[in-house]
Amino acid sequence: MAGLKYLLFLGCVIPYRIVSYETSSRKVLKKLGVELVEMPEFNCCGLPIDGVDHDAMLLLAARNLCLAEQQNLNILTLCPGCAGALRKVNRSLQEDKKLKARVNGFLKEIGMEFKGGKIAVRHLIQALVEDVSLEKIKDAVVKPLAGLKVTEHNGCHVLRPAKYIGFDDPENPVLLKRLIEATGAECLDYMYETDCCGAPIIGVNDKIPLYLAGDKLRNVKAVNAQALITVCPFCHMMFDINQPRIEKLLSEKFGIPVLHYPQLLGLAMGFTPKEMALDELRVDATKLLNTT
């Protein structure tokens, strides 16, 4: 494998609240021989304001794609929202000549032009499966997490809409499970596994997402999983930071530690819990560590 190199698109939610995802991802990727180049400059991917103005979303995404084209590097994102938005726009602009001409008309104002076909956008787990490979990940595991039983939550934009994303099967996703199994842990199925966490609407309605995420946590607990593994900062915020709020609202105790996938992989690769920023999690994961 010739050295993998990506332009890291960090997004907004990770530096805002979920730094443990960034810390663990950077360390794990470095050890796997993946080089990350920082974005020369940044603006939001556009997704959060798609509902306000679709054109604004297109332009914010397109500007980031132009920056990547200038660097001639594929984009790697940790956030599925960013990955989904950038991927969708990258594809739409290449397929729809009229849309591309319109967007380029706007981009001309800032001296940029989207060329298309030059770069790709990858979410972390897609890069791990398709570029790094499961074999290489298995080889990097020095401390298999045998005996650990966990569950996964993919995050919608890693998989949907299928026609734009084209990764794994959104109806029966298996690739995150394979990644988890590569660490030696067991990945269990649970009810409503592919359902959304509800986080995107928490600013509009704070009850529905809490009930939705609570239902998922209940189903995770029902199969006796010791942890829930996520690959999205938004989902993580919902299940980890909001878990005490959910428990209070539903008068139920879950106590399910929620780990970012790179944290789990990092532990199996021999990193210490501190190095993987496990101490930054809201729900205590110490008990989980004692079982491995």
Interacting residue ranges for other proteins, rule: CB under 8 A: 10, 12-13, 15-17, 19, 22-23, 26, 38-44, 48-56, 59-60, 63, 96, 99, 106-107, 109-110, 156-157, 160-162, 170-171, 192, 194-196, 198-201, 203-205, 207-209, 211-212, 215
Token pair of 248 as six digits: 């209070």
Closest distance between other proteins and the C-beta of residue 218, in Å?
13
Q: Which of 147, 189, 154 is nearest to 168 (CA)?
A: 154
Nearer of residues 215 and 247 to other proteins, judged by Cβ? 215
Closest distance between other proteins and the C-beta of residue 94, in Å?
14
44 Cβ neighbours under 8 A, 6+ residues apart: 11, 12, 60
Nearer of residues 196 and 259 to other proteins, judged by Cβ? 196
Instruction: Give the Cα separation of 267 and 189 in Å (integer).
Output: 22
Token pair of 223 as six digits: 């199969």
Nearer of residues 17 and 138 to other proteins, judged by Cβ? 17
Closest distance between other proteins and the C-beta of residue 205, in Å?
6
Closest distance between other proteins and the C-beta of residue 114, in Å?
13
Closest distance between other proteins and the C-beta of residue 16, in Å?
4
Closest distance between other proteins and the C-beta of residue 291, in Å?
28
Give Dmax over CA atoms of the chain in angstroms: 58
205 Cβ neighbours under 8 A, 6+ residues apart: none
Token pair of 289 as six digits: 């560590």
Nearer of residues 32 and 158 to other proteins, judged by Cβ? 158
Instruction: Give the Cα separation of 58 and 86 in Å (integer).
Output: 9
Instruction: Give the Cα separation of 45 and 26 in Å (integer).
Output: 20
Nearer of residues 83 and 145 to other proteins, judged by Cβ? 83
From residue 2, alpha-carbon distances to 5, 33, 35, 131, 138 in Å are 9, 9, 11, 10, 18
Nearer of residues 93 and 187 to other proteins, judged by Cβ? 93
